[in-house]
């Protein structure tokens, strides 16, 4: 009996390991393809970032692009709202990149002038630049806890969600932090963490390609 149980446990463990390897393989291949797509815009992003005085942050901007669109579609940087105040107004990928770089450059320069960290600038790409002053008044360093406060208490009610309604958001960062949710109309409080993670993927596969 014990031998049967032992064999059954071995089968379960083997199945679990194989499942993890398959899922991990699918994730790796998909991420590799997506980073290749995003990296195809590196030259354009680098040129515009250099012109804006933030050339050292090209990989961060590519991380934003990966987060927003994975390099697919017309509005690669999802910059329509920051320029026109609504979605679907961007006419070309070049326009999206130009406005996305401009938006991040402004966020970065404001965050730097306020004595805030890089992640504040990244989070402000999603929340808007008013978030920078909010962080400045609370120590100058972005965190998920601070971003949640802003999302819940400022941004979300400012767009009509006075009851703190939430919706499911099943990303690794959100699942580990709160079980997987965001506040309706409250942006993405995990945005800076996700962009930094995607930037690391881009860096990793870029080095792999160049090796």
Dump pLDDT digits (tens) for 118-144.
999 999 999 999 999 999 999 999 999
Residue 23, pLDDT score: 58
Cβ atoms of 190 and 127 within 8 Å: the answer is no
In which band, very low, low, confident or very high, does the pLDDT at 8 lie, cut at 50, 70 and 90? Answer: low
Residue 34, pLDDT score: 86
**Across 180-198, average pLDDT:** 97
User: Is 33 or 108 the better-scoring residue by pLDDT?
Assistant: 108
Cβ atoms of 116 and 142 within 8 Å: the answer is yes
pLDDT of residue 187 exceeding 70, the answer is yes
Residue 144, pLDDT score: 98
The CATH number of the domain holding residue 124 is 1.10.530.10
Domain count, the chain: 1
3-class SS of residue 41: coil
In which band, very low, low, confident or very high, does the pLDDT at 84 lie, cut at 50, 70 and 90? Answer: confident
Residue ranges with strand state E in the chain: 166-168, 181-183
**Across 29-33, average pLDDT:** 75
Residue 86, pLDDT score: 77
Provide the β-strand partners of residue 182.
Answer: 167
Residue 41, pLDDT score: 96
Cβ atoms of 192 and 147 within 8 Å: the answer is yes
Q: Give me the domain span that covers residue 47.
A: 2-210
Task: Identify the CA nearest to 206 among candidates 31, 64, 71.
Answer: 31
In this prediction, what percent of the chain has a pLDDT beyond 70?
85
pLDDT of residue 31 exceeding 90, the answer is no
């Amino acid at each position: 009996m014990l031998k049967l149980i032992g064999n059954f446990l071995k089968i379960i463990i083997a199945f679990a390991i194989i499942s993890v390897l398959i899922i991990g393989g699918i994730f790796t291949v998909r991420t590799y393809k997506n980073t290749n797509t995003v990296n195809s815009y590196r030259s354009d992003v680098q040129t515009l970032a250099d012109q804006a005085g933030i050339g050292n942050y090209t990989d961060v901007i590519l991380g934003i692009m990966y987060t927003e669109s994975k390099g697919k579609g017309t509005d690669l940087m999802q910059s329509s709202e920051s320029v026109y105040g609504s979605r679907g107004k961007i006419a070309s990928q070049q326009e999206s990149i130009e406005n996305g770089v401009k938006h991040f450059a402004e966020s970065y320069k404001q965050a730097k002038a306020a004595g805030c960290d890089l992640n504040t600038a990244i989070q402000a790409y999603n929340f808007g630049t008013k978030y920078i002053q909010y962080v400045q008044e609370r120590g100058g360093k972005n965190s998920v806890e601070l971003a949640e406060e802003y999302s819940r208490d400022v941004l979300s009610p400012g767009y009509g969600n006075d009851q703190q309604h939430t919706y499911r958001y099943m990303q690794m960062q959100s699942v580990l932090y709160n079980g997987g949710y965001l506040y309706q109309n409250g942006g993405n409080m995990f945005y800076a963490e996700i962009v930094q993670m995607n930037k690391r993927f881009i860096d990793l596969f870029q080095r792999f390609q160049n090796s």
